[in-house]
Copies of this chain bind each other. A is one copy, B any other.
């Protein structure tokens, strides 16, 4: 797994071959194939060793909690190994359902924790009772990943804008609010 991460850092998903991983780990190619039948599954498992999962607890203050979710999405999906590798894997994931399953499992704990924060706010009436929490999370993550992919701005203003979208149902504005905290 360390060998896989080393090769990924060096040349991206794109330049990773089972052969290079085997050489770097000092084992034979067939040994690698025995455990990970496809490159996508090898990489999915290697990435899982890189993700530290810190469960979030809702503070009860909606703005604090949502801002924290947005900040976590930026940390996870901008200039991170996951953010760099995940888009590159897209084609292989489309052709390798087991690898996609592995990747979804990677996101599982953080996603469940993020949903629990949203639904705590639903539970105390701060957010609508019939909220589609999964889509809220995809809107946040998707916007961050897309901006990262195109090299567009991901500064502090966008964290305010995405927070305000969820907390105040406020469409993003071009300029920061004066009362923004």
Contact = CB atoms under 8 A, between A and B. Distances in A.
Given A86-B149, A151-B93, A169-B169, A139 B130 contact: no
Given A14-B92, A84-B90, A132-B173, A103 B150 contact: yes
Q: Looking at chain A, what size class is its interface with the partner chain?
A: 35 or more
A1 interface: no
A123 to B, nearest CB: 15
Interface stretch (A26-34, A50-58, A140-148): A140-148
B142 A12 contact: no
A166 B144 CA distance: 18
Copies per assembly = 2
Most buried by B among A90, A100, A141: A90
Given A104-B150, A132-B171, 17 more contacts: A84-B91, A93-B149, A93-B151, A107-B150, A128-B173, A130-B173, A131-B171, A131-B172, A131-B173, A132-B172, A132-B174, A135-B158, A136-B171, A138-B146, A142-B142, A142-B144, A169-B171
A161 interface: yes
A150 B100 contact: yes
Contacts of A12: 91
Nearest to A173: B130
